[in-house]
Amino acid sequence: MAPPGTEPVIIVEGLTARYGEVTILQDVSFEVRRGERFMILGGSGCGKSTLLKHMIGLLRPHAGRVIINGIDITRADEGTLHRVRSRLGVLFQADALFGSMSLAENVALPLAEYTDLPPELIREIVRMKLGLVNLAGYENHMPSELSGGMRKRAGLARAMALDPMFLFFDEPWAGLDPVTAAELDILIRSLNEGTGTTMVFVTQELASIFSLAQRVIMLHRDVKGIIARGAPQELRASSTDPRVNHFFNRRAD
């Protein structure tokens, strides 16, 4: 096994995404390395979320490949895709917790589906997972009774229920106050360092980009692809592209 941080585990090759006749992404290629915190940046409407949906197999690309852990998910059959998905965790922007279930039931759902563990053990694991996101004791609360930050963390606990190799975050900081967002940063960092999970984020939250991202790619509407890649601090300091510069320095175009 290659040392952490160098071995590519997600490879996107020549990805072209279209909705009907409209091309959103044209020939996008990049790779994500094992255990890193990787971010996909860009302004509104640049295709970040579309790219994420292709990476988790919710959409099939018009052309190109997405290889996760050596498996090309764009050509995989349903069974293979199902197996790959069980290794992925996704935290959706609107947390996507099931409103009719308690937190414990939400987290237990993937465990009950993918494992044959008895209910007592599942309860133990659920308690541990909720503890990981600092929600110990909230097993029997309903999502509607929690604050936005707590719901995000509960969604994260559910995404991590099966110890995924990869965690995908779609705008995890959207709608959080700065303090809660900073707390989420700390939590995500400790989970990443503790579990070694590869994390991919789609975001435009500058503070969190600088505090968490190890490598980023930046997409832009005009080129329908990547205009910059590298560490965010370097891009802010040395990029000559005004589009990149304006993004990182929060300036109007």
Partner 1 sequence: MAAMNHSGYRMTVEGTAGEEASIRLAGRLALEDLRPLMAELRAIPERMKPRRIALDVSGVEYLDSAGALALIKMEILCGSLGIPFELLGVSEKDHGLLRLIDREAQLRPPLRPESERSDIVAKLGDRARRQYRDVLEIMSFVGELVAALAFCLAHPRTVRWEEVKFYMKRAGADGLPIVALISLLLGLIMAFMSSLQLKQFGANLYVANLVTIAMVRELGPIMTAILVAGRSGSAFAAEIGTMVVNDEVNALVTMGFDPVRFLAVPKVLAAMIVVPILTVYADVFAMLGGLIVGVTGLDLTAFTYIQQTKASIRVFDFATSLAKAVVFAMLISGIGCQRGFQVRGGAEGVGTSTTSAVVSAIFLIIVADSAFAIMLHYVRQ
Report which of 113, 111, 103, 216 is spatially closest to residue 153, judged by C-alpha positions: 103
Can residue 136 be called a binding residue for partner 1 (CB under 8 A)?
Answer: yes
Can residue 190 be called a binding residue for partner 1 (CB under 8 A)?
Answer: yes
Name beta bridge partners: 33.
Answer: 8
Q: Of the two residues 114 and 210, which places its CB atom closer to partner 1 in the complex?
A: 114
Angle in degrees, CA 219, 85, 161, rounded to 5: 105
DSSP line for 117-134: --HHHHHHHHHHHHHHTT
Can residue 26 be called a binding residue for partner 1 (CB under 8 A)?
Answer: no
Rounded alpha-carbon distances, angstroms, from residue 141 to 104, 115, 224? 8, 24, 43
Can residue 100 be called a binding residue for partner 1 (CB under 8 A)?
Answer: yes
Q: How far is the CB of 104 from partner 1 (least distance, A)?
A: 8
Can residue 147 be called a binding residue for partner 1 (CB under 8 A)?
Answer: no
Interface size with partner 1, residues (CB under 8 A): 32
Instruction: Give the chain's length.
Output: 253
Q: Which of 62, 141, 221, 224 binds partner 1 (CB under 8 A)?
A: 141
As to burial, measured by CB atoms within 10 angstroms (0-12 exposed, 13-18 middle, 19+ buried), residue 214 is: middle
Window contacting partner 1 (CB under 8 A); options: 130-138, 173-181, 215-223, 228-236: 130-138
| Pair type for strands 215-220 and 225-230 | antiparallel
Within 195-214, which residues bind partner 1 (CB under 8 A)? Answer: 195-196
Q: Which of 113, 193, 234, 241 binds partner 1 (CB under 8 A)?
A: 193
Q: How far is the CB of 103 from partner 1 (least distance, A)?
A: 10
Q: How far is the CB of 52 from partner 1 (least distance, A)?
A: 23
Report which of 104, 105, 159, 108 is spatially closest to residue 137, judged by C-alpha positions: 104
> Which residues bind to partner 1, rule: CB under 8 A?
99-100, 104, 115-118, 121, 124-125, 127-132, 136-141, 144, 160, 162-163, 190-191, 193-196
